[in-house]
Amino acid sequence: MRTKIFTILMIIGFLSLLAGAEAHAMKRNAVRNKHIKNKAVTSKKLANKSVTNAKIKGPISLSKINTAGLECAAGSSIRKVNTDGSVECEADDTIGANDLADGSVSASKLADGAVATGKLASGAITSDKLADNSVTTAKIKDGEVKTSDLADGSVTAGKLVTGAVTASKLAGNIPQSKINFSGSISGNVQVTGNYRFASAKTYFHYINGNEFMNSDSSDDADWTRNGYGYGYPSTDSYTYVVAPVHLPQGANISQLLCYFLDDSAGLNWDTSSAFLYSRYLPSQTRNELARVTVNQAARDSNIIFTKYDNSVSGGGDPVDNALYGYWLAVTLDVDGTGTDFYYTRLYGCRIAYYLQEVSQ
């Protein structure tokens, strides 16, 4: 029995020596990929660290890598790779407006067009975040800045270059409250419709005494027109003189005032009156708008006195030159003794009016 066991052991030893000798006799790279069945080499058949980078030829396809445990869920990233090859994940970092220090991102760090409109929250860029003159016309898309985007009063004349605002850039009408113009305009100005003053402007229309004409040519001897701008009755008879009145369309008449002189020792003004009339052209109806009356019984040596009427009312006020005509009529009467009519003078009459809106 011992002899048989010994014989078997000798055979096994011989075969082992033969296998070792054969393995030792194999040339380098004698066993290639084609000699190894697929999945024949498992991790258990490889000694620790037996496969190094230097022993791997070419890239390893993704299908040969078991990625189980190497992936992170959506919204997270790999934070750490452990020594056993597993990974630890963490939530993705996001950069909010509060994560950036003021001034930390300068224009030099941004490529042109890097920040698109869709990346900016409404109100994210305020005026204190923009350098002076950093936003130029070339950087604003035509039509991008609308009326609703501008604070009231934010666009001043100093912020507009010459010729920046053209007719094509203005839609509709500009309200009066938005216009504050000071200076001069060269060239022609076209106005569609009426224009208004911010506050009513008062104007005066003065008619000299020597502009009045006797209403009856046969009574010319009763009224003398003096070259110094006044007139006077040349007899003690009743004198009636008239003068045309021309006022701008839309004017509101506020006062009729007349200037008289009584420097005659023996003659006085006796109930003389001045009337401002309008005439309605379609029917030729006369309307009295204002009246002043002088009754100067006592002599006022070399003093010009005035009589006025502020209660102007009637047809034709405000002035409508399309439907009304206007004139002044003055009745002159003096009494007393003497022939020095020259010293009872009508220097003229003044009409005050104001304009708020000027019509075409």
pLDDT in tens, 23-59: 555 667 677 777 777 777 777 777 777 777 777 776 7
Average pLDDT on 331-358 reads 90
Indicate whether 221 belongs to any domain: yes
pLDDT above 70: residue 256:
yes
**Of 53-67, 101-115, 123-137, 239-253, the least confident:** 53-67
pTM across the whole model: 0.53
Residue recorded with tokens 């040339």: 27
Average pLDDT on 154-168 reads 76
Indicate whether 71 belongs to any domain: no
Indicate whether 289 belongs to any domain: yes
Burial class (CB in 10 A: 0-12, 13-18, 19+), 181: exposed
Residue 75 banded pLDDT, cuts 50, 70, 90 = confident
The CATH number for 345's domain is 2.60.120.260
- Number of domains composing the chain: 1
**DSSP 8-state symbol, 240:** E
pLDDT above 90: residue 69:
no
Average pLDDT on 310-328 reads 94
In this prediction, residue 330 carries a pLDDT of 95
Going by C-beta distance under 8 Å and a sequence separation of 6 or more, which residues neighbour residue 89? Answer: 72, 73, 76, 77, 78, 79
Please indicate whether residue 39 or residue 246 has the higher confidence score (pLDDT): 246
Query: pLDDT tens, 282-291?
Result: 999 999 999 9
For 189, the token pair is: 């100005």
pLDDT above 90: residue 212:
yes
In this prediction, residue 35 carries a pLDDT of 73
For 347, the token pair is: 């220097």
Indicate whether 259 belongs to any domain: yes
Indicate whether 133 belongs to any domain: no
Indicate whether 213 belongs to any domain: yes
Indicate whether 299 belongs to any domain: yes
Range of the domain at 329: 201-358
Please indicate whether residue 333 or residue 130 has the higher confidence score (pLDDT): 333
Indicate whether 9 belongs to any domain: no
